[in-house]
Amino acid sequence: MDVKRVNQIASDIHNFQAAISEVNGDRSNYRYSLFTKVFNQYEKCKSAVDFKACIFQPRDEIRGMIARSYLYMSDKYKTNLSNQEKKLIMAWNKMYAPENLECKRNAHIAKVQGNDNKFVTGRCTQ
């Protein structure tokens, strides 16, 4: 991938998400997965990482937002998703509708950046 394309992806505001630095660092580039019901790694943050299997399970509240971010990046920049990843992300998108804050964030980014995330817009009530 050329530098210009990497810079476009890295500067796309739809790709920015607030994160707890310890959790984000531990997540690394691990694939998302559902593998536990026990969440004791990050105090009240119900996320988990399996360092041996290189997988990460995000908390329920952010799964839909993660899914819509991945769908946007895949659609806009043609990033590759494995079949397993795509199935999980599509399921999370369906199961976890955008909350009002995500819809407002998307509308604000559209004003600033000039494009919305259609996977969010299509699920928000106007």
Q: What is the pLDDT along the chain (126 residues), one digit of tens a residue?
A: 789 888 999 999 999 988 899 999 999 899 999 999 999 999 889 999 999 999 999 999 999 999 999 999 999 999 889 999 999 999 999 999 999 999 999 999 999 999 999 999 999 975
End-to-end Cα spacing for the chain:
37
d(CA 122, CA 72): 12
CA–CA distances in Å: residue 66 to residues 1, 3, 17, 79, 121: 23, 25, 9, 15, 15
Q: What is the DSSP string of 5-62?
A: HHHHHHH-GGG-----HHHHHHHTTPEE----S---SSTT---EEETTTTEEE--HHH
CA–CA distances in Å: residue 14 to residues 71, 72, 103: 11, 8, 12
In the block, tokens 């369906």 appear at 94
Rounded to two decimals, the pTM is: 0.91
d(CA 36, CA 7): 36
Structure tokens given for 23: 């959790």
